[in-house]
């Protein structure tokens, strides 16, 4: 896409020289498998420490590149789709005991417009009568907390004496009791 229009700010506009055409279609910076992460801490996080910490934990098949987007937000550009999906499925992540909220990134939305409002958690459901220990009941209970994520293998939902369900929880709102 070539930007050809003149930029107008208030009563001022850019001249032809100032408003040169820029073709952004050939200068795509990120790949197709990008995860953007916001570190929920006030301390400044160093990109080297993040990469050094997550490299052995994620055990990716391919390489990934970490880029600092400012404000404790980082972009992880994965070589392979399976690695990006694996990182997202491994949620929730923490760094130095602080939550790390992750989203898949389409590469076109400005970083400042991302909400970082949901995280996926495994929720355990205890003290169910045996006759209610079914996937349907677990889904019904999970839906009261947020969007339920269907596991690849339904056997992941059953523990020895409890059910578990993966739920995308809105972390901007307090948890309900009871």
Q: Which of 5, 29, 34 is nearest to 19 (CA)?
A: 5
Model confidence pTM above 0.95: no
CB burial string 65-89: b at 16+ within 10 A, e below: ebeebeebbbbbbbbeeebbeebee
Alpha-carbon gap, residue 108 to 70, rounded angstroms: 17
Question: Does the pLDDT value for residue 131 go beyond 60?
Answer: yes
Residue 128 backbone phi and psi in degrees, to 5: -80, 140
Q: What is the pLDDT of residue 160?
A: 81
pLDDT band at 3 (very low <50, low <70, confident <90, very high): very low
Which pLDDT value is given to residue 6? 47
* pLDDT tens, residue by residue, 70-127: 999 999 999 999 999 999 989 999 999 999 999 999 888 899 999 999 999 999 999 9
- For each of the domains in the chain, give its residue range(s) and CATH number, in order of start: 33-107 (3.30.70.330), 119-170 (no CATH)
């Amino acid at each position: 896409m070539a930007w050809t229009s003149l930029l107008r700010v208030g009563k001022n506009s850019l001249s032809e020289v100032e408003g040169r055409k820029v073709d952004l279609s050939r200068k795509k910076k990120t790949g197709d498998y990008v995860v953007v992460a916001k570190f929920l801490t006030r301390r400044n996080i160093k990109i080297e420490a993040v990469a050094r910490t997550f490299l052995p934990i994620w055990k990716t098949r391919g390489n990934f590149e970490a880029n600092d987007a400012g404000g404790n937000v980082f972009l992880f550009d994965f070589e392979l789709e399976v690695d990006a999906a694996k990182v997202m499925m491994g949620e929730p992540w923490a760094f130095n005991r602080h939550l790390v909220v992750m989203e898949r990134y389409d590469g076109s939305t400005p970083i400042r417009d991302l909400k970082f409002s949901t995280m996926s958690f495994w929720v355990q459901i205890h003290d169910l009568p045996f006759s209610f220990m079914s996937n349907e009941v677990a889904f019904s209970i999970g839906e009261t907390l947020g969007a339920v994520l269907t596991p690849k293998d339904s056997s992941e939902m059953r523990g020895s004496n409890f059910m578990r369900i993966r739920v995308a929880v809105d972390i901007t709102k307090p948890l309900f009791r009871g």
